[in-house]
Amino acid sequence: MARIVGGIVTSHVPAIGRAIAGGLQQEAYWKPFFDGFAPVQQWLAEVKPDVAVVIYNDHGLNFFLDKMPTFAVGAAPQYSNADEGWGIPTLPAFPGDQDLSWHLIEELVAKEFDLTTCQEMLVDHAFTLPMKLLWPNAGEAWPVRTVPVCINTVQHPLPSAGRCFKLGQAIGEAVASWDADARVVVIGTGGLSHQLDGERAGFINKSFDLEFMDSLVNDPAWATRYSVEELIELTGTQGIELLMWVAARAALGGVDQVRKLHANYHIPISNTAAGLMLFESKD
């Protein structure tokens, strides 16, 4: 049976793509952010997962306001990136794992998650940049197969934190029942607090972010006490992307099943409070 070896949650910001393309990692603005990834890269090099389930939110590249699934799962042989208009280079296509995709889809639908299944799917910066941050030397050949899981944070109504937590639990159970000798890492991308639009543009809530990060260690369902509207008030209109962290952490199981190996938090990257956490599954 397959095994979840751990989980990684990180922010995603288009400007990271420009910094990587320009080789700015050691500049004063970027260093505290990029340096945070070294221990995670090292852990990945040691643990060598076979597959990454990447929980992220599309920003209009694959889904737009005309058709917006609440939850979508990729089931494609590969996933291409494309120009989103941010002026960042596109990254090489990511290999899929259709066997895990369809197993996840079967299991999640059986547990009453009504999914959109995507046999073609473009992946945007929320998927590609975390992959590049985690495997900076991948070149053309990514070292893991991937299964994208997309949660709507764009077109209201959005799924609640409680619903995303249950989705994550179901993903964790589905991976554990996948009949494959594979090591799986679960990645969640988005957040932490940020707001790109309106009167509160630039809004960041450090104390909430730190409490949230702490909750993923000590009480992973903590954020489910808040409604989507309350989370947006607390973290900003795009801070709601923390739903990806809630789902990814839920996939790893309870407080006794994981240990936190690393965390980093840095303000700001563009408009965003950038967070990063690495969890390893206990044997």
How many residues make up the chain in this entry?
A: 283
CA distance 65 to 56: 17
Q: Select from 223, 240, 100 the least CA-distant residue to 172.
A: 100
Per CB under 6 A, contacts with ligand DHB among 151-170 are none
Is 156 tagged catalytic? Answer: no
Per-residue contact flags (x/-) with ligand DHB for residues 187 to 206, judged by CB under 6 A? -------x-x----------
Per rule CB under 6 A, count of chain residues that contact ligand DHB: 12
CA distance 134 to 39: 10
Residue 12 engages ligand DHB in binding (rule: CB under 6 A)? yes
For residue 274, the minimal CB distance to ligand DHB (Å) is 9
| Sheet of strand 116-118, all strands in order from the earlier edge strand to the far edge | 116-118, 71-74, 145-151, 51-56, 183-189, 3-10, 272-281, 258-269
For residue 195, the minimal CB distance to ligand DHB (Å) is 9
Cβ atoms of residues 221 and 42 within 8 Å = no
For residue 92, the minimal CB distance to ligand DHB (Å) is 21
Identity of the residue, 75 or 247, whose beta carbon is nearer to ligand DHB in the bound complex: 247
For residue 241, the minimal CB distance to ligand DHB (Å) is 6
**88 exposure class (CB count in 10 Å sphere: 0-12, 13-18, 19+):** buried
The single residue of 125, 156, 262, 266 carrying the catalytic annotation is 125
Sole binder of ligand DHB in the list 2, 5, 9, 14 (CB under 6 A): 14
CA distance 79 to 128: 10
The single residue of 59, 194, 262, 266 carrying the catalytic annotation is 194
Residue 59 engages ligand DHB in binding (rule: CB under 6 A)? yes
Residue 238 engages ligand DHB in binding (rule: CB under 6 A)? yes
Q: Catalytic site residues? A: 125, 194
